[in-house]
Amino acid sequence: MTRPTSAGPAVGDRLPTLTIPVTATLIAAGAIATRDFMPVHHDRDYAAEQGAPDIFMNILSDTGYCSRFLTDWAGPDAMVTRLAIRLGVPVFPGDTLVYTGEVAACSVQGDEDVVEVAFRAATDLGDHVTGTATLTLPRPR
Amino acid sequence: MGAETLDDELQALVGQPVGRGGPSVAPDPVNQPMIRHWAAAFDDRNPVYVDPAAAASSRFGGIVAPPLMLQTWTMPTPTLAGIAGRGGSPVEQDGDTALSVLDRAGYVGTLATNSEFEIVRYLRLGDVVSATTVFASISEEKQTRMGRGRFVTWVTTYTVEPDEVVGRQTFRILKFAPGGTSP
């Protein structure tokens, strides 16, 4: 059974902005922590040969930051059950990547709040990632 | 090769495995060192990933892996020697892959466009993850800002032994002919 949430997250609630000053170290660390050894994510010379101005962030890092952005707000009892992202402009060292988002829908299912979040991560060049996510949260007793 | 023949060849791939040799099995079970490494790389302070006491009192009842680390567990252990010569591929490939059909047809460019995850349950320490990936769809040729291309979508199903589905990933790329030339 689904009914409107009477407490907890509400539609329109804004998530705290997550600002990431992007460095080569951060891009390389994210790539290796996700076991992505493609040289375009750690080798600047190789990236240049491929026509890129520098190394750029890998997609597994994007989804990693998305989940951090969501649970920094929702807390350790939140469970991310769905994440869908569309990829835009690449992210290079020197960029500032800014995650913003808001609650798009809320419902109660059983003893859980189900929260839909719409978010984006952008640099000066435009949207790097746009997406939606679903989280579940145990309802306060 | 006529367009109709290529379309037939591509449609025959739908439902077929991406890559060869069956499911990708994680080289290591879900473990605390790799989780700690991941959490540090993204400066993710969520205590359920690294703090046993906090995790025990959470809804999860113990340490869990970050949900979007799902794909990381089954990433292949790389062979670094010769990586640049293999076009940046971290693994040695044994001949043709299904995507080679598209490369041969002129769609040599690759651009990732979408990634979507469904998380059925969070992974716990000791879980051994396997991934099975199949082609879900290959579009007809479309004109894109990158050039003429086809969208290729595959779906990965992640399981924990013996056959519990813990998550699914839908991934879409554009294979395109750079410069707007027709393949």
pLDDT at B4: 63
Which residues of chain A are within 8 Å of residue B90 when distances are taken between CB atoms? 36-38
Is the pLDDT reported for residue B175 higher than 90? yes
CATH number at residue A23: 3.10.129.10
For residue A3, what pLDDT is reported? 42
**Residues of chain A above pLDDT 90, percent:** 89
Residue B41 tokens, joined? 């790389």
pLDDT at position B9 = 86
Domains of chain B: 3-28+94-180 (3.10.129.10)
pLDDT of residue B95: 60
User: Is the predicted pLDDT of residue B146 greater than 90, yes or no?
Assistant: no
**CA-closest candidate to residue B87, choices B58, B110, B53:** B110
What are B79's two structure tokens? 């062979």
Suggest the residue from A38, A41, A58, A67 to mutate for an interface test with chain B (most B CBs closer than 10 A).
Answer: A67
* Domain enclosing residue A122, as ranges: 2-138
Average pLDDT in chain A: 94
Bond from prior residue into B162 cis (ω within 30 degrees of 0): yes
The tally of CA atoms less than 13 A away on the side-chain side of residue B90 is 14
pLDDT at A86 over 50: yes
Pairing mode, strands A126-138 and B109-119: unpaired
- pLDDT tens digits for B28-58? 999 999 999 999 999 999 999 999 999 999 9
The mean of the pLDDT values for chain B is 90
The confidence score (pLDDT) of residue B5 equals: 83
Distance CA A87, CA A90 (A): 8
∠ Cα B66 A72 B57 (to 5°): 65
A-chain residues within 8 Å CB-CB of B84?
A: 39, 43, 46
Q: Which of A99, A90, A19, A21 is nearest to A59 (CA)?
A: A90
Say whether B113 and A87 touch across the interface (CB within 8 A): yes
Task: Please identify which residue in the block is written with the tokens 């290591």.
Answer: B28
pLDDT at residue B96, as a whole number: 66
Under 8 Å CB-to-CB from A22, ≥6 apart: which residues?
A57, A91, A92, A93, A94, A95, A96, A97
Over residues A22-46, mean pLDDT: 96
Q: Using a pLDDT cut of 70, give the percent of chain A over it.
A: 95
Residue A1: pLDDT band (50, 70, 90) is very low
Return the structure tokens found at A31.
Answer: 């790539």
Long-range contacts of B161-164 (CB under 8 A, 24+ apart): B161/B128, B161/B130
* Of the partner residues A33, A79, A86, the one whose CB lies closest to the CB of residue B122: A79
More confident residue, A1 or A92: A92
At A4 the pLDDT is 45
Residues in chain A closer than 8 A to B117 (CB atoms): 63, 82-84
ipTM: 0.94
Structural domain tally of chain A?
A: 1
CB A70 within 8 A of CB A78: yes
The count of other CB atoms within 10 Å of the CB of residue B166 is 20
The CA distance from B48 to the nearest CA of chain A, in Å, is: 6
pLDDT of B19: 76
Task: Kindly report the length of chain B.
Answer: 183
| Closest to A77 in 3D by CA, of A17, A8, A6 | A8
Q: What is the pLDDT of residues B105-143, one digit of tens each?
A: 899 888 999 999 999 999 999 999 999 999 999 999 999
